[in-house]
């Protein structure tokens, strides 16, 4: 594959989606062939852009008949090489599946096509006093289909869980072209296997997700954000645990370090938030029907927060300014060259020490590399980013992921396995689990055409 489509296959795709939606020119394909970081770059004979589930069915059937492997792709914001054609696959872009139903205000749900962005879901929900609990910095590019396929986490997992917890139904096309459609959104529906839950996080290996029924949550009337400095990662982990215990409406608890703060300020042109330069920063957000500012202030007392390193914001503009110090990390790190992004979870009791140790683990393998640490401390999830490595040099990846597994952690907290971490899946999954994965893959994608290089490989 990768050598181009035969004229007859190209004509068959054009008959399904229209010639304008079969992209074969190099310029038109290029944005679909590389991931956002620039670490994963492949090539495809064609990008096909179906507009309806029926067109997806016909594309998948054609690929199965022709023995063509397919990479489903949404907003192409994935970070583990799971949505780009690294082995010459056809790219099936879901971005034109962008129908959004009216908001069901009685059920607090919406049905969204796979190509709808998270930002568009938020905009529609906002008009009804609701919101979608999955939010992340790439909100205006990341799509419902991609975030369902990867079980995306984001900023509010600490309160609402990841994408799987928001799913009330799914529509998807299996590898043989059959359609699973279960979008009724019933709160109680105990009629067998939870296929939405199974396909969520399957990374395009079992089906092409074409639509999802999403639960929405009330939009809080009040929110407060605090950015605070702390002396070390372990104190930060303990502080967040103490805040959670008294703030059930804690929406986010994000950690980053002085080096990341400096990089963000230099790269994006922000002023540091405090004259003091603490080693560790934690950003917390609390939101609810009543103003939580006083409760948050009380919670911060006596938990190791450095008194000259506290910024509190209640109005929307200032809250967004504080969030920028955290959200700009991804962009700022990428200016140093494509990073290796190791998205891991540690048991909370081991997280602080791991954050202290991981730069040494990296340096032992690659002394000239730099390690950047930030993440969702409330979830035990730290993003270990390493710059200064060749894209295909994965010695550091192995050392860090083995250290994570050795401490009882997960090698993928929220980004997925993709192609980047496939080699190390057995660190977290037993032979019996991997055999069950393979059996599911064979049952739902018998020809093995859906993302064959991802997850199981």
Which residue's structure tokens are 């993709």?
A: 418
- Minimum distance between the CB of residue 362 and ligand MLT, rounded to whole angstroms? 16
- Between 137 and 240, whose beta carbon lies closer to ligand MLT? 137
- Minimum distance between the CB of residue 26 and ligand MLT, rounded to whole angstroms? 28
* 271/409 Cα distance (integer angstroms): 35
114 closest CA partner among 132, 102, 126, 96: 96
Which residue's structure tokens are 């074969």?
A: 24
- Minimum distance between the CB of residue 98 and ligand MLT, rounded to whole angstroms? 23
Record the tokens describing residue 312, joined without a space. 């509190």
Record the tokens describing residue 196, joined without a space. 């939405």
H or E segment to which residue 363 belongs: helix 348-365
- Between 171 and 251, whose beta carbon lies closer to ligand MLT? 251
Does the protein bind ligand MLT through residue 441 (CB under 6 A)?
Answer: no
Residues 130-159 that bind ligand MLT (CB under 6 A): 136-137
- Minimum distance between the CB of residue 421 and ligand MLT, rounded to whole angstroms? 14
Contact 333, 387 (CB under 8 A): yes
- Between 163 and 330, whose beta carbon lies closer to ligand MLT? 330
Distances from the Cα of 56 to the Cα of 76, 342, 414, angstroms? 18, 32, 27
Q: Which residue's beta carbon is nearest to the bound ligand MLT? A: 330
- Minimum distance between the CB of residue 71 and ligand MLT, rounded to whole angstroms? 20
- Minimum distance between the CB of residue 270 and ligand MLT, rounded to whole angstroms? 16
Query: Total number of residues binding ligand MLT (CB under 6 A)?
Result: 6
Beta strands in 34-162 (DSSP E): 47-48, 70-73, 90-93, 109-113, 130-131
Residues 194-223 that bind ligand MLT (CB under 6 A): none
- Minimum distance between the CB of residue 110 and ligand MLT, rounded to whole angstroms? 24
- Minimum distance between the CB of residue 383 and ligand MLT, rounded to whole angstroms? 4
Per-residue binding letters, 308-347, with ligand MLT (x by CB under 6 A): ----------------------x----------x-x----
- Between 122 and 330, whose beta carbon lies closer to ligand MLT? 330
- Between 213 and 370, whose beta carbon lies closer to ligand MLT? 370
- Between 14 and 265, whose beta carbon lies closer to ligand MLT? 265
Beta sheet of 109-113, edge-to-edge order: 109-113, 207-215, 167-174, 179-182
- Between 340 and 341, whose beta carbon lies closer to ligand MLT? 341
- Between 215 and 383, whose beta carbon lies closer to ligand MLT? 383
- Between 77 and 109, whose beta carbon lies closer to ligand MLT? 77
- Minimum distance between the CB of residue 333 and ligand MLT, rounded to whole angstroms? 7
Which residue's structure tokens are 């059920």?
A: 107
H or E segment to which residue 22 belongs: strand 22-23
Contact 399, 379 (CB under 8 A): no
Length of the chain (residues): 457
Q: Residue 269 burial (CB < 10 Å; 0-12/13-18/19+)?
A: exposed
Contacts of 20 (CB under 8 A, 6+ apart): none
Distances from the Cα of 268 to the Cα of 149, 154, 273, 305, 417, angstroms? 31, 22, 14, 26, 30
- Minimum distance between the CB of residue 366 and ligand MLT, rounded to whole angstroms? 20
- Between 285 and 343, whose beta carbon lies closer to ligand MLT? 343
Per-residue binding letters, 362-391, with ligand MLT (x by CB under 6 A): ---------------------x--------
167 closest CA partner among 187, 138, 196: 196
- Minimum distance between the CB of residue 331 and ligand MLT, rounded to whole angstroms? 9
- Between 78 and 185, whose beta carbon lies closer to ligand MLT? 78
Bridge partners (DSSP) of residue 71 are 91
Which residue's structure tokens are 């929405």?
A: 216
For 337, the 3-state DSSP assignment is coil
Contact 143, 134 (CB under 8 A): no
Q: Which residues bind ligand MLT (CB under 6 A)?
A: 136-137, 330, 341, 343, 383
């Amino acid at each position: 594959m990768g050598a181009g489509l035969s004229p007859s296959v190209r004509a068959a795709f054009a008959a399904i989606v229209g010639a304008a939606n079969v992209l074969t020119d190099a310029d038109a394909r290029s944005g679909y062939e590389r991931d956002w970081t620039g670490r994963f770059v492949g090539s495809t004979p064609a990008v096909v852009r179906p507009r309806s589930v029926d067109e997806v069915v016909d594309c998948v059937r054609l690929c199965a008949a022709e023995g063509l492997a397919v990479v489903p792709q949404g907003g192409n914001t994935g970070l583990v090489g799971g949505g780009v054609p690294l082995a010459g696959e056809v790219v099936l872009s879901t971005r034109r599946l962008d129908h959004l139903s009216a908001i069901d205000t009685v059920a607090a749900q919406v049905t969204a096509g796979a190509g709808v962005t998270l930002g568009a879901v938020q905009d529609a929900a906002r008009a009804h006093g609701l919101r979608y609990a999955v939010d992340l910095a790439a909100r205006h590019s990341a799509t419902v289909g991609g975030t369902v396929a990867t079980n995306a986490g984001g900023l509010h997992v600490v309160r609402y869980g990841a994408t799987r917890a928001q799913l009330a139904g799914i529509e998807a096309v299996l590898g043989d072209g059959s359609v699973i459609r279960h979008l009724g959104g019933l709160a109680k529906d105990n009629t067998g296997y939870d296929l939405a839950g199974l396909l969520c996080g399957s990374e395009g290996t079992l089906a092409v997700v074409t639509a999802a029924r999403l639960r929405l949550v009330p939009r809080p009337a009040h929110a407060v954000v605090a950015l605070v400095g702390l002396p070390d990662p372990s104190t930060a982990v303990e502080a967040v645990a103490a805040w959670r215990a008294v703030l059930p409406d804690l929406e986010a608890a994000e950690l980053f370090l002085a080096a990341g703060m400096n990089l963000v300020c230099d790269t994006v042109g922000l002023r540091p938030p405090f004259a003091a330069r603490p080693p560790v920063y934690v950003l917390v957000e609390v939101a609810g029907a009543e103003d939580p500012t006083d409760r948050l202030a009380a919670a911060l007392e006596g938990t190791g927060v450095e008194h000259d390193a506290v910024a509190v914001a209640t109005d929307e503009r200032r809250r967004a300014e504080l969030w920028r110090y955290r959200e700009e990390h991804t962009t700022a790190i990428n200016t140093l060259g494509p990073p290796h992004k190791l998205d891991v979870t540690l048991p909370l009791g081991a997280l602080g020490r791991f954050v202290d140790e991981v730069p040494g683990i990296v340096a032992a393998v690659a002394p000239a590399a730099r390690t950047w640490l930030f993440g969702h401390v409330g979830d035990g999830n730290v993003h270990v980013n390493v710059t200064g490595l060749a894209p295909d040099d994965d010695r550091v990846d192995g050392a860090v992921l083995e250290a994570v597994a050795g401490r009882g952690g997960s090698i993928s907290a929220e980004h997925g396995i993709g192609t980047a971490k496939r080699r190390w899946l057995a660190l977290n999954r037993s032979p019996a689990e991997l055999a069950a994965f393979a059996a599911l893959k064979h049952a739902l994608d018998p020809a093995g055409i859906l993302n064959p290089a991802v997850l199981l490989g």
